[in-house]
């Protein structure tokens, strides 16, 4: 039974990784220009406050375009950004920058966990895969 549980957990991890890395192909038969589409976060702050926290986006250089608009229902500001044609930026970089801008504007800091204390980490295939999934998850997502 223990072996079955171990195998099952490994299968589940692989499945989670599969979902993470292949969602776009699974859900969109013919995606529009996915790489350069607008990506949007809602920030519970005024436009002026958002502008003051946009250093993660400005660090990406001239390869992006941004726009700000008032969010409905007193939910602050909608911050949108997209990768311009010709830029070699990856969508993951833009997602990370948008999330970090929102964190800076709302919470005043960017969430981090490492370096975190931990015990011995053996280099098992499942562990290495999980490391890769966790790292990729910083920049992946529906955003």
Partner 1 sequence: MRALVWQGINKLAVETVDDPRILNPHDAIVRVTASVSCGSDLHLVGGYVPTMRAGDILGHEFLGEIVEVGSAVTKRRVGDRVVVNSFIACGQCWYCLQGKTSLCDNTNTAPGLNDALFGASLGGCFGFGYTTGGYAGSHAEYVRVPFVDVGSFVVPDGVTDAQAVFASDAVPTGWMGAYESNIQPGDVVAVWGAGGVGQMAARSAMLLGASRVVVIDRIPERLAQVRDVIGAETINYEEVDLQPELRELTGGRGADVAIEAVGLEAHSPGIDGVYDKLKTNLKLQTDRPTAVRQALFGVRKGGSVFILGVYAGFVDTFPLGAMMNKGLTVRTGQQNGHQYIPMLLERIQRGEISTDHLATHTMSLEDAPHGYEIFKNKEDGCVRALFVP
Report, in Å, the least distance between residue 86 CB and partner 1: 26
- Where does this chain bind partner 1 (CB under 8 A)? 1-2, 4-6, 8-13, 16, 19-20, 23, 42, 44, 75-76, 95, 99, 102-103, 106-113, 115-122, 124, 127, 130-131, 133-134, 136-143
Report, in Å, the least distance between residue 78 CB and partner 1: 12
Tokens of 108: 């005043």
Of the two residues 85 and 119, which places its CB atom closer to partner 1 in the complex? 119
Of the two residues 29 and 113, which places its CB atom closer to partner 1 in the complex? 113
Q: Is 74 left (phi over 0), alpha (psi -120 to 50) or beta?
A: left
For every residue of 1-16, DSSP letters joined together read -HHHHHHHHHHHHHHH
Of the two residues 1 and 48, which places its CB atom closer to partner 1 in the complex? 1
Shortest CA distance to 36 belongs to which of 6, 78, 80, 74? 80
Distant-in-sequence, close-in-space partners of 80: CB < 8 Å, separation ≥ 6: 38, 39, 40, 66, 67, 68, 69
Report, in Å, the least distance between residue 73 CB and partner 1: 9
Report, in Å, the least distance between residue 70 CB and partner 1: 14
């Amino acid at each position: 039974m223990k072996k079955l549980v171990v195998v099952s957990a490994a299968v589940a991890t692989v499945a989670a990784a599969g979902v993470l890395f292949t969602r776009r192909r699974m859900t969109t038969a013919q995606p529009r220009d996915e790489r350069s589409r607008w990506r949007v976060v809602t920030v519970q702050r005024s436009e002026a406050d958002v502008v003051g926290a946009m250093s993660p986006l400005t660090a990406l250089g001239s390869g992006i375009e941004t726009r700000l608009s008032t969010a409905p229902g007193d939910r602050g500001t909608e911050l949108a950004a997209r990768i311009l044609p010709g830029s070699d930026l990856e969508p993951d970089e833009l997602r990370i920058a948008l999330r970090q801008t929102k964190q800076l504007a709302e919470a005043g800091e960017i969430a981090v966990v490492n370096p975190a204390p931990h015990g011995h980490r053996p280099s098992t295939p499942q562990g290495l895969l999980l490391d890769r999934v966790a790292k990729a998850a910083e920049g992946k997502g529906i955003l």
